[in-house]
């Protein structure tokens, strides 16, 4: 499946090289060709692995650990890539809706305990596209090239998937699994009951004309929908549906104002409102018949969009005090969206800026110490939720004041974070120098019989000299190399192992004296130490010549570097998916500062941290809180193991309302495409 795709991309890159405008562009395309050719076999292996994981999860009911972590780490939050993925999935589902639905039903008949749905069906386009994205993620392509790769994959996917789904259906029919199903019999099976669908009376309009009409969905509580039994189509009594005139904007606003006053007077539970079914119920069940209305298609879609957006906001696990404040803005912002369509399309709209600023502060609510800022947020929300929406300048005014306050707080946090990074990098450099000098001395002393006086000098006084030089000049500097050469000669003299090129101690006195001045200021102290060393070396030489050297052998073993074994339990190691862990480790190595993570360690409160820096010497990752203070330092292997156990989860740091509207738009498109397809 991927061979044809990679061959086409390779040919495209080769043609791009020939038509490149300059040498730099040619070199870029050549590097992409080399990247593709060296990693295509690995991508094949990864693609097969993730497809196998999908089927394994279906049979064994295993949890897919990679869906929430790997995709986020590979940067699929890029807007263009995300839109392209959603479009591919939607178009592919709409191209073969019937065969996919038949296969879903037959898989449930084959594996009733698995309760297969679209999101767990290994033949579903979303599953396959996700596996492909993960397979080609290590390819170092830019966004435009990735988009081209996705477009080519879509063509291959539709052709291949259609064939494979038909083969799978034929095989299951041959094994007598639901051989006689059709689209009509599937309408009321328990496998296709969508979330939050209510039973409504069917229209008397004939089937062909009903298919041409514009689709619409009605929502109710999810628990109610899950309890709907299978329905015999012949038992449904058809009634004529009464049509009502569309409600005007002014009356719709009066109705939302009424709901807003009710919400202020009788606070609802802490959850997002489902406004659309509530409004439709109020409009179509008025006591006065001539006052009954319906929503226009445009208003209905906007309300559904805002319902989905706030359902997304509710799912983001904001701190409870902030979540309560944000949900109070659902109805005011709905009126903004109905009155001003720029709210849905313009990221710089004052209302969007305001809510994004509120949620940016709210994510760090527990870590912020500014009571004045919190009081200001309370004031803004209460004012917006109690006043009727009329003038957009109110949002502009409130957004400006909050954004200015937030900018001041962010500036303080950034300055503190810079100081923390500098401090931790200094500690990292110091610790690296300490370990390096210890290792350099231990490597040269290991297994040798050293005079105790000389050993003490090397591990204490001479260690300080080497440590200071490594910190000041670097481990590869000439000064450090010369000092290590003197160290080697001194060890030969103090162990009685004279080599041909080993100078006598009198030739080493001046270089040693010169370096002792770096840590000692007293001439008398230096002379006394040199005399003691000379005496010890003379004693060593005498005993070595007589063959009576009886000094203890130096033996010092340092702790081995940490590995995956140090961070995973025995049970996790036995069930370890090495390909998955290897992927996670590669992703962790490629992380960039600014990535947010939520840590959920057992027995500890959830912790939201930002990757501030990767310490250069230890390759550890420094995390800070939103206020700039240090949170923790972890190794690459430790973070990979936490991702594997889902104790760490990457968090989107894009503005919350922008992400919510993007999610709601894709959800609305998917719902409408599903209605058209079925």
Sign of CA dihedral 641, 644, 648, 653: positive
Please tell me what DSSP assigns to residue 559. P
Res 558: pLDDT = 53
655 CB contacts (<8 Å, ≥6 apart)?
347, 352, 356, 359, 360
How many CB atoms sit inside 10 A of residue 652's CB? 13
Determine the Cα–Cα distance for residues 328 and 264; give it in Å rounded to an integer: 9
Which among 157, 59, 152, 144 is positioned nearest to 100, based on CA atoms?
A: 157
Q: Which two tokens stand for residue 206?
A: 């004939």
| Residue length of the chain | 678
Domains of the chain: 2-174 (no CATH), 249-416 (no CATH), 447-546 (no CATH), 562-654 (2.30.30)
Res 265: pLDDT = 66
Which among 132, 123, 175, 131 is positioned nearest to 150, based on CA atoms?
A: 132
Res 565: pLDDT = 53
Res 584: pLDDT = 81
Res 373: pLDDT = 63
Which among 561, 529, 642 is positioned nearest to 69, based on CA atoms?
A: 642
Determine the Cα–Cα distance for residues 438 and 467; give it in Å rounded to an integer: 9
Give all strands (DSSP E) within 292-362, no chain letters. none
Give all strands (DSSP E) within 603-665, no chain letters. 607-614, 621-624, 630-634, 648-651
177 CB contacts (<8 Å, ≥6 apart)?
106, 109, 110
| φ, ψ (nearest 5 deg) of residue 27 | -60, -35
Query: What is the 3-class SS of 146-190, one letter each residue?
Result: HHHHHHHHHHHHHHHHHHHHHHHHHHHHHCCCCCCCCCCCCCCCC
Determine the Cα–Cα distance for residues 334 and 307; give it in Å rounded to an integer: 9
Which tens digit of pLDDT belongs to each residue from 139-181?
878 878 888 888 888 888 888 888 889 899 889 888 888 877 7
Regions in the chain scoring below 50 on pLDDT:
62-77, 183-240, 368-369, 389-390
Res 638: pLDDT = 87
Res 388: pLDDT = 52
Place of tokens 């044809």: 4
From residue 108, alpha-carbon distances to 64, 92, 96, 194 in Å are 19, 22, 19, 16
C-beta separation of 65 from 53 below 8 A: no
Res 578: pLDDT = 76
From residue 602, alpha-carbon distances to 130, 255, 374, 607 in Å are 30, 47, 30, 12
β-pair partners for 623 = 611, 632
Taking the alpha carbons at both ends of the chain, their separation in whole angstroms is 29
Res 574: pLDDT = 63
Q: Which two tokens stand for residue 500?
A: 């041909």
Determine the Cα–Cα distance for residues 281 and 283; give it in Å rounded to an integer: 5
Determine the Cα–Cα distance for residues 470 and 430; give it in Å rounded to an integer: 9
Res 622: pLDDT = 94
From residue 191, alpha-carbon distances to 108, 109, 186 in Å are 8, 10, 8
With H, G, I as helix, E, B as strand and everything else as coil, classify residue 91. helix
Q: Which helix (H) or strand (E) holds 66?
A: helix 66-73
């Amino acid at each position: 499946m991927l061979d044809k795709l990679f061959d086409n991309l390779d040919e495209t890159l080769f043609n791009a090289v020939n038509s490149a405008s300059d040498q730099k562009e040619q070199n870029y395309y050549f590097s992409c060709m080399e990247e593709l050719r060296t990693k295509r076999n690995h991508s094949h292996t990864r693609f097969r692995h993730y497809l196998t994981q999908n089927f394994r999860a279906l049979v064994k009911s295993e949890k897919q650990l990679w869906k929430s972590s790997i995709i986020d780490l590979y940067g699929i939050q890029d807007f263009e890539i995300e839109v392209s993925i959603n479009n591919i999935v939607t178009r592919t589902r709409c191209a073969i809706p019937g065969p996919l639905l038949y296969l879903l039903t037959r898989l449930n008949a084959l594996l009733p305990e698995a309760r297969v749905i679209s999101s767990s069906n290994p033949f579903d386009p979303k599953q396959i596209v996700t596996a492909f994205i993960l397979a080609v993620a290590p390819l170092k392509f830019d966004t435009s090239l990735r988009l081209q790769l996705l477009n080519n994959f879509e063509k291959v996917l539709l052709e291949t998937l259609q064939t494979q789904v038909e083969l799978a259906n034929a095989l299951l029919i041959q094994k007598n699994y639901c051989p006689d199903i059709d689209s009509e019999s599937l309408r009321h099976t328990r496998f296709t009951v969508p979330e939050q669908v209510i039973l409504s009376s069917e229209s008397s309009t004939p089937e062909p004309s009903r298919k041409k009409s514009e689709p619409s969905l009605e929502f109710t509580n999810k628990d109610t929908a899950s309890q709907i039994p299978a329905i015999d189509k012949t038992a449904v009594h058809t009634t004529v549906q009464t049509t009502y005139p569309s409600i005007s904007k002014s009356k719709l606003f009066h109705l939302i104002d009424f709901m807003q006053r009710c919400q202020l007077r009788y606070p609802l539970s802490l959850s997002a409102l489902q406004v659309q079914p509530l409004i439709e119920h109020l409009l179509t069940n008025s006591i006065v018949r001539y006052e009954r209305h319906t929503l226009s298609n445009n208003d209905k879609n906007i309300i559904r969009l805002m319902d989905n957006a706030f359902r997304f906001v509710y799912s983001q696990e904001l701190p409870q005090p902030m979540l309560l404040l944000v949900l109070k803005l659902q109805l005011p912002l709905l009126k903004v969206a109905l009155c001003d369509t720029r709210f849905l399309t313009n990221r710089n709209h004052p209302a969007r800026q305001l809510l994004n600023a509120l949620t940016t502060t709210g994510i760090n609510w527990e870590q912020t110490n500014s009571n004045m800022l919190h009081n200001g947020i309370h004031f803004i929300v209460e004012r917006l939720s109690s006043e009727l929406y009329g003038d957009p300048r109110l949002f502009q005014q409130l957004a400006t004041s909050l954004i200015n306050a937030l900018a001041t707080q962010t500036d303080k946090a950034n300055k503190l974070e810079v100081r923390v990074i500098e401090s931790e990098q200094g500690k990292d450099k110091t610790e690296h120098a300490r370990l390096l000098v210890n290792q350099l001395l231990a490597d040269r002393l290991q297994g040798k019989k050293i005079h105790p006086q000389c050993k003490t000098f090397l591990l204490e006084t001479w260690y300080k000299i080497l440590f200071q030089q490594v910190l000041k000049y670097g481990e590869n500097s000439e000064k450090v190399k010369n000092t290590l050469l003197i160290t080697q000669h001194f060890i030969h003299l103090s162990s009685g192992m004279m080599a041909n090129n080993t100078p006598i101690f009198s030739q080493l006195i001046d270089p040693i004296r010169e370096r002792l001045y770096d840590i000692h200021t007293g001439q008398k102290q230096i002379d006394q130490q040199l005399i003691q060393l000379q005496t010890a070396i003379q004693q060593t030489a005498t005993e070595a010549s007589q063959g009576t050297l009886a000094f203890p052998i130096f033996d010092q073993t340092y702790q081995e570097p940490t590995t995956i074994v140090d961070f995973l339990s025995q049970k996790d190691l036995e069930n370890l998916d090495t390909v998955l862990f290897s992927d996670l480790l590669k992703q962790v190595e490629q992380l960039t500062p600014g990535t947010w993570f939520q840590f959920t360690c057992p027995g500890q409160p959830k912790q939201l941290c930002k990757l501030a820096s990767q310490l250069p010497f230890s390759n550890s990752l420094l995390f800070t809180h939103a206020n700039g203070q240090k949170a923790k330092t972890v190794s690459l292997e430790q973070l990979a193991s936490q991702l594997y156990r889902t104790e760490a989860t990457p968090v989107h740091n894009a503005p919350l309302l922008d992400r919510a509207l993007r999610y709601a738009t894709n959800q609305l498109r998917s719902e409408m495409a599903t209605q058209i397809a079925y």
